Amino acid sequence: MDDLLREFLTESGEHLDTVDAELVRFEQDPNNETILRNIFRLVHTIKGTCGFLGLPRLEALAHAAETLMGRFRDGLPATSASVTLILLTLDRLKEILADLEATGTEPAGSDDDLISALERMAEGSAEASEPAAPPPRPEPVLPDPVIRELKPGEVSLDDLEAAFLAAPGPEDVDFAAPPPVAAAAPAPKPAAPAPQVSAAPVEAVEAEPARAEKAEGGGTEGETTPGETTAAAKGNQTIRVSVETLEHLMTMVSELVLTRNQLLEIARRHEDSSYKVPLQRLSHVTAELQDGVMKTRMQPIGNAWQKLPRVVRDLSAELGKQIDLVMVGAETELDRQVLEVIKDPLTHMVRNSADHGLESTAERVAAGKPARGTIRLAAYHEGGTITIEIADDGKGLNLAAIRQKAVQRGIAAQADVDRMTDAQVAKFIFDAGFSTAAAVTSVSGRGVGMDVVKTNIETIGGLIDIATTAGRGTTFTIKIPLTLAIVAALIVRAGEHRFALPQVAVLELVRVDAGAQRVERINGAPVLRLRERLLPIVSLTGLLGQSQAGSETEQAGFVVVAQVGRERFGILVDEVFHTEEIVVKPMSVKLRHIPMFAGNTILGDGAVVLIVDPNGVARQVAQGVQGSGGHAETDDDAAGEVVDNKTTLLVFKGGQGSFKAVPLSLVTRLEEIECAKVEWLGGRALIQYRGRLMPLVPADSAITIKSEGTQALVVFSDGERAMGLVVDEIVDIVEERLDIEIAADRSDLIGSAVLRGRATDIINIAHFLPLAYDDWARGLKRPEQLSTILLVDDSAFFRDMLTPVLKAAGYQVITAASAEAALNTLQSEPKIEVVVTDLEMPGRSGFDLVAAMRRAEPRLAALPVIGLTGTIGTDAVERARTLAIADLVAKFDRAGLIAALAELGAETVSKAA
């Protein structure tokens, strides 16, 4: 039953998709009998199967839909409303099927609403007696097995082998047409009607539509027969094979290819020719086998397009635009893996074209264009790639607005933008930032999610391009490899190991040495002059963290010039071997997080090599990781001390998918807000939060506040002030030992740490507070410590914020919330060597604390003190001097504080010496 059900689910899913598309066609071409017949047959099949499998809900729905479609066939005009209703029914069927797939049983629920609507629609122009006819039909159809059992039992096996393929026909006939009779005396009857039907097929029935009841029954058969015949005929030529079986076959063939390569290698080395001939044959067979297996993975791209007519229809109703969808080359085949990846982007782009690309009907008419807009989808093979075009004849992109937006968003300078060609400008819409609300409203379109589309396409080694003409429309061109399973790759050596670089990304190879073509450096960043242009260079060894003596490897070697999207860069390798068709094997789950690799493969000599992902490299180039970040990671000197206790951290995604964290103790709340509620005042985002205005600050410059949907916020508050930190996504709360490594000089980060196995930036909240409130520093306090530091601050917020900073700098930290507490702690903790105190505390101020210390026992009196203050005024400096406060540091001056502590440390050491 399980298998049967699974089969049913797959099949019904496919049928429903087809019906979806066909219905839309039918609506446009209501006189096309063939389409209607096809639809009718599919729904009928689903209904019959449901009855057979005991799925009453599905059956009842399908039945009601079928009844209505029966009316169409009788001449009821197919109105938009009725088609919509049937489409709704199909959606419901799909929902139920999805549930069925998930749970194995039909979900409870009632479809009376749809059924009665369908019935009403059907009866609207139907005469009567409808219900009578259809109900019998349910049981019939599928019980083929039953019939077959009956037949042999009774008579006439001949029927089955009859050349006119009555096989599916009679079964339907005996049950559907004269149902009660069939039930009463099954065997003989079928034999009789079958020939009739097949002999006097469709036209006869069609000719006399008056015979409502019988005719419909007969008609069904008549029409069903040809359809099912083809299906049956096809059925004989195709079989369903599970994807795993194919994948396994593919793997085995890949291994066979590798083995063959090894054998050829050996044969080349030996002169013994006796086995050269069979080997040759083996080689040919293997190649053909490989081809054949590859073909089994191919699917027509039409499968990915199947849902589009429906999408366009719905959109055109929703937007009130008249849209034609033209699809060319639906039979073009490509690897199913690729198909899966591009399915959603394609839908998205067609949606975009309909929504933003095409003008409203009125605008079109005004512009002298046909009222109906056209979206054209085309696919064709070109070399080893497949090209897909999505074109609309709409208004084209508003390039001026994009230019303006690009400058406004700081993506490019005005001068650059002016110099750029239109094609270059158009590509800005693929930038992540452009997909935001502001972009959509002011640029009038094509914003939403284009960056996602691009990313998806690039992950499979594809390229996307755009051409636009004002007033004439926009065309997107996507080029993707036919298959992901086998790619041409350049085998290179970097350091001691070989790597494979996918050929699609490679533009050219340049030999570099110490002479004419040499790698030059700007502030350590390698570049190459290539035809009067500067090309940024990364060395593969450096990128992979292997180079010990980075500079020397760059003296000679090859630069592989690669292009990913708009980025052009050179990858420096030591040696280039050859290109080879490699079988891509996925990375282990344990290694999939490394962005540099797209997979691995086994070469002809049996060695495993890693396939470098050009997209990953491009990202690293853009971030300049090789020069700074990469080294920072390995720079042990910068590594901070281990903090002994665990800290609970809130981990979130902030900007370009990177992980960031902030101590949970600092966080007041996590919020999910409606983006529509964000208000902009004086260029700052605000939201009304608990009766007050709360400023929103992005956690990373790469984050933009979303325009629609909801936005995740991390709310920090101190006293009456609150700030919302805008993050992409809240990920997790982790409790871990915090080993912070001080990061590059970025004021918004304290450093990075490894949390749950992934590198995470610890953000410095102190950086963000002044962005929200210029005066947050005032009236708040924080403390710090040296080897062991006593941090005195009345604000838990600042204590929590500074503790990790200080720990990262290598100090032990003890905190105190007030001058009194600080004095007590000082008495009980002899190991405290430095006191860092806020000077502006309520009650006893920091000055009072220091004064008290100076009056106390010698040990305390001699302790160095660093004062923290919001404003460093002359009087404060004076008071500090009289109290022998070693240094005054402005609040939020993280670096200044660390420097002051370091200075103190040096002094202590020199004193000790």
Partner 1 sequence: MQAANANATGARASANGVETGATNDFVTVFVGETLFGLAIERVHDVFVPSGVTPVPLAPAEIVGLLNLRGRVVTAMSLRRRLGLPDAEAEGEGGKASPKMAIGLEQAGETFALVVDGVGEVLKLGADSREAVPINLDPRFRNLATCVHRLDGRLLVILDVDALLGFTAAGAKAA
Applying CB under 8 A, the residues found at the interface with partner 1 are: 254-255, 258-259, 497, 544-546, 585, 588-594, 596-597, 600-602, 606-610, 659, 756-758
CA distance 298 to 338: 9
Contact predicate 773/721, CB 8 Å? yes
CA distance 224 to 222: 5
Q: Which is nearer to partner 1, 255 or 708 (CB)?
A: 255
What are the tokens at 578?
Answer: 């050859």
Q: Which is nearer to partner 1, 605 or 775 (CB)?
A: 605
What are the tokens at 324?
Answer: 């034609």
What are the tokens at 344?
Answer: 């959603």
Q: Which is nearer to partner 1, 653 or 782 (CB)?
A: 653
Which residues, at least 6 apart from 784, have a Cβ–Cβ distance to it below 8 Å?
Answer: 791, 802, 806, 811, 813, 834, 836, 866, 868, 897, 901
* Shortest spacing between CB 510 and partner 1, in angstroms: 24
By C-alpha distance, which of 744, 700, 725 is closest to 650?
725
Could you tell me how many helices (H) and strands (E) the chain has, helices first?
Answer: 35, 35
Per DSSP, the residues of 567-583 read EEEEEEESEEEEEEEEE
By C-alpha distance, which of 840, 791, 785 is closest to 817?
791
CA distance 808 to 803: 8
* Shortest spacing between CB 665 and partner 1, in angstroms: 22
- The dihedral region occupied by 54, where left means phi > 0, alpha psi between -120 and 50, and beta the remainder, is left
Residue appearing with tokens 């019959």: 48
Q: Which is nearer to partner 1, 42 or 543 (CB)?
A: 543
Query: Between 336-352 and 308-319, two packed helices, what is the crossing angle to 10 degrees?
Result: 10
Contact predicate 646/735, CB 8 Å? yes
What are the tokens at 164?
Answer: 């006119």
Displacement of CA 658 from its chain's centroid (Å): 15
* Shortest spacing between CB 620 and partner 1, in angstroms: 11
Q: Name beta bridge partners: 563.
A: 568
Other C-beta atoms closer than 10 Å to the C-beta of 666 total 21
Which residues, at least 6 apart from 910, have a Cβ–Cβ distance to it below 8 Å?
Answer: none
CA distance 844 to 849: 7
* Shortest spacing between CB 609 and partner 1, in angstroms: 6
Q: Which is nearer to partner 1, 586 or 830 (CB)?
A: 586
CA distance 375 to 788: 70
* Shortest spacing between CB 419 and partner 1, in angstroms: 38
C-alpha distance from residue 750 to each of 3, 697, 887, 895, 898 (Å): 57, 17, 22, 10, 12
By C-alpha distance, which of 297, 75, 344, 39 is closest to 208?
75
Q: Name beta bridge partners: 373.
A: 323
Q: Is the sign of the CA dihedral 768, 772, 777, 782 positive or negative?
A: negative
Q: Which is nearer to partner 1, 4 or 607 (CB)?
A: 607
